[in-house]
């Protein structure tokens, strides 16, 4: 079973609520990041909590350990269930994020390789693999790996064992859910759902990956 995670990159509270309300039966979690939080504030988390979907804070934290801890503490105090940080910042910053998440009964996911074309400029050549090793050493709950490059995500899967993989890039970025669903634990989908004239129907299209049938 692969979870469907809605990337809620809309800029208005009303639209955010409406999309979650419509897509709720067909999604497992909601990922919120800079677009919505900068536009509407972190209080949007409390508003969306009404829909009982675990909220993932996608701030791709990339800072020194102390600042990372401050950001993570604020995130978990607002009811998020997970936080995402970058891995290239190194072991102490990743550990700070993992520890703060676990102290708050939350999860920490680490970006190993991104989904856009330019990601190959720095993540290839062994960097993503090193980050995957760091994820295991730091005790993180899982990684973010690209749906746009299933062959790379398969390599990263071989390095992290049964830790979770959440994978963005399906839909608008061209990633094929059939090619990635079997390798990962969650597919992150944004525009293919929230830009649709019928977000419920758009989200429902991914239901086969949730049930495995």
In the complex, the residues that contact ligand O7E under the rule CB under 6 A are 7, 9, 33, 58, 60, 84, 111, 114-115, 144, 146, 166, 168-169, 171-173, 188-192
Q: Is 60 a catalytic residue?
A: yes
Is 128 annotated in a binding site? The answer is no
Active site residue 63: yes
DSSP state of 124: T
Distance CA 190, CA 187 (A): 10
**83 annotated among ligand-binding-site residues:** no
Cβ proximity to ligand O7E: between 96 and 147 the closer is 147
Would you say 9 is a known binding-site residue?
yes
Contact 7, 31 (CB under 8 A): yes
Please give the Cα distance from 42 to 92 (Å, whole number). 26
Which is catalytic among the residues 15, 60, 164, 185? 60
Strands (E), 112-148: 142-144
Residue labelled with tokens 């401050």: 70
- Report the residue number, 11 or 213, with the smaller CB distance to ligand O7E: 11
State yes or no: 168 annotated in a binding site: yes
Shortest Cβ 171–ligand O7E spacing (Å): 5
For ligand O7E, give the closer residue by CB, 100 or 153: 153
| Min CB(13)–ligand O7E separation in Å | 17
CB of 132 to ligand O7E, least distance (A): 14
Least separation in angstroms between residue 58's CB and ligand O7E is 5
Find the catalytic residue in 22, 53, 58, 141: 58
Nearest of 95, 99, 125, 97 to residue 113 by alpha carbon = 125
- Complete DSSP assignment for 24-78: GGG-SEEEEEHHHHHHH-TTHHHHHGGG---EEEEEEE-S-HHHHHHHHHHHHHT
Q: Is 170 annotated as a binding residue?
A: yes
Q: For helices 91-103 and 127-138, what crossing angle results, to 10°?
A: 40
58 as an active site residue: the answer is yes
What is the chain's alpha carbon radius of gyration, rounded to the nearest angstrom? 16
Residue ranges at the known binding site for substrate: 9, 31, 58-67, 115, 168-178, 190-191
- For the annotated catalytic residues, the residue numbers are 58, 60, 63
Residue ranges at the known binding site: 9, 31, 58-67, 115, 168-178, 190-191
């Amino acid at each position: 079973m692969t979870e469907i995670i809605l990337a809620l990159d809309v800029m208005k509270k009303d639209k955010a609520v409406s999309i979650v309300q419509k897509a709720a039966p067909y999604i497992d979690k909601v990922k919120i990041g800079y677009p919505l939080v900068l536009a509407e504030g972190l209080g949007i988390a409390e508003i969306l909590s009404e829909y009982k979907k675990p909220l993932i804070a996608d701030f791709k934290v990339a800072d020194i350990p102390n600042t990372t801890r401050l950001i993570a503490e604020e995130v978990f105090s607002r009811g998020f269930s997970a936080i995402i940080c970058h891995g290239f910042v190194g072991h102490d910053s990743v550990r700070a994020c993992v520890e703060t998440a676990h102290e708050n009964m939350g999860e920490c996911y680490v970006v190993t390789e991104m989904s856009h074309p330019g990601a190959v400029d720095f993540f290839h050549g062994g960097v993503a693999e090193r980050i995957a090793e760091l994820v295991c050493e730091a005790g993180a709950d899982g990684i973010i790996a690209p749906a746009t490059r299933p062959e790379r995500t398969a390599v990263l899967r071989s390095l992290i064992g049964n830790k979770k993989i959440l994978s963005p890039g399906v839909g608008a970025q061209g990633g094929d859910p059939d090619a990635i669903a079997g390798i990962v634990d969650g597919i992150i989908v944004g525009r293919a759902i929230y830009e649709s004239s019928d977000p419920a129907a758009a989200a429902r299209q991914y239901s086969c990956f949730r049930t495995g049938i």
